[in-house]
Amino acid sequence: MTIHPTAIIADNVIFGKNISIGAYSIIKEGVIIGDNTIIESHCTIEHSKIGQNCYIGSNCIIGFPPQDLHDKGIDTWVEIGNNVSIREFCTIHRGTQKGNGKTIIEDNCLLMVYCHVAHDCHIKQNVILTNNVTLGGHVIINPFAILSAFFLVHQNVEIGEMAFCVALNRTAKSIPPFVMVDSCESNARIMKLNTVGLRRNGLSEEAIKQIGWAYNTIKSKPNKEAFVLIEEKAKDFPELRRIIDFYKNTKVPVLAFSKGEVEE
């Protein structure tokens, strides 16, 4: 274990093996830090459980109270999984009592510089948030989604798996799985399938074709009718089931598609 002499560590912090903590960092009471995790200089961490093999860059603030006028985040936490990289100047606030009590970042995520993760967010495995992404409270981001620089997400929004969100944009509506969201003057819009991301994550060409068909069906028919048609093909293509589940379970309306057919 390597702890810089200027770091301030509470007595009841729980350390794994081979921990490194940089100059002037403050680790407060009850924090848990897993094996092989590196915390650089000038970080302050409280109310947090951090997994193994994580990297936390300089000047990060993790586990501070939620920015919620009605909730002080008493006995709530931030939970960070394994192999997570949180780069310089990120802020991650703990959950609220009226929420689920936790802000969660699962394994293998990357948060680039100046990202903000608000209270009760749940970032699932293998998500990338690039520079200056900002998440409101209670946001859910599903596996392998990528949010580009300065993308803003309103509270309670859900981002589907393998979605790609173009930089300098915002959304107050949920973004379904497997799509690319482009920018326009007023808000985000769905432009086409995220075919590059789908191929990188091992989806077959036939699965990609069926996803495109499913979204064109949703565009052209009422949801109830479209879902019946998609259910039939979901037996052979589980990705289609995940699309239906997303539409049925997300808490806010789903972002509309741009005009014309959904393109690959």
The DSSP call for residue 219 is H
pLDDT over 80 (residue 178): yes
d(CA 216, CA 132): 33
137 is catalytic: yes
Give the residue from 31, 26, 87 showing the smallest Cα distance to 55. Answer: 87
d(CA 121, CA 128): 14
**Domain shared by 134 and 221, yes or no:** no
Q: Mean of the pLDDT values across residues 22-41? A: 98
Give the residue from 98, 90, 142, 85 showing the smallest Cα distance to 118. Answer: 90
**Domain shared by 125 and 47, yes or no:** yes
Any domain includes 260: no
The residue among 138, 156, 190 that closes a domain is 138
Give the residue from 83, 51, 249 showing the smallest Cα distance to 156. Answer: 249
108-160: pLDDT as tens digits: 999 999 999 999 999 999 999 999 999 999 999 999 999 999 999 999 999 99
Give the residue from 118, 145, 146, 151 showing the smallest Cα distance to 132. Answer: 151
Any domain includes 254: no
Give the residue from 16, 169, 134 showing the smallest Cα distance to 80. Answer: 16
**Domain shared by 106 and 203, yes or no:** no
101 is catalytic: no
85, 110, 213 from 143: Cα distances, Å: 16, 12, 22
Residue 184's pLDDT is what?
Answer: 56
Residue 183's pLDDT is what?
Answer: 66
HEC secondary structure over 196-212: HHHHHCCCCHHHHHHHH
Marked catalytic residue, from 119, 122, 160, 212: 119
Any domain includes 46: yes
Any domain includes 41: yes
Instruction: Give the CA diameter of the chain.
Output: 65
Residue-number span of the structural domain to which 94 is assigned? 2-138
pLDDT over 90 (residue 248): yes
221-236: pLDDT as tens digits: 999 999 999 999 999 9
Any domain includes 203: yes
Marked catalytic residue, from 63, 137, 197, 212: 137
**Domain shared by 127 and 14, yes or no:** yes
71 is catalytic: no
Q: How many domains does the chain have?
A: 2
The token pair at 72 is: 């002080």
**Domain shared by 134 and 202, yes or no:** no
**Domain shared by 111 and 235, yes or no:** no
Marked catalytic residue, from 120, 136, 197, 212: 120
**Domain shared by 126 and 212, yes or no:** no
**Domain shared by 122 and 204, yes or no:** no
Counting beta carbons within 10 angstroms of the beta carbon of residue 236, is it exposed (0 to 12), middle (13 to 18) or buried (19 or more)? exposed
Strand 188-193 and strand 179-183: the pairing is antiparallel
Q: Give the model's confidence band at 211: pLDDT under 50 very low, under 70 low, under 90 confident, else very high.
A: very high
| CATH code of 66's domain | 2.160.10.10
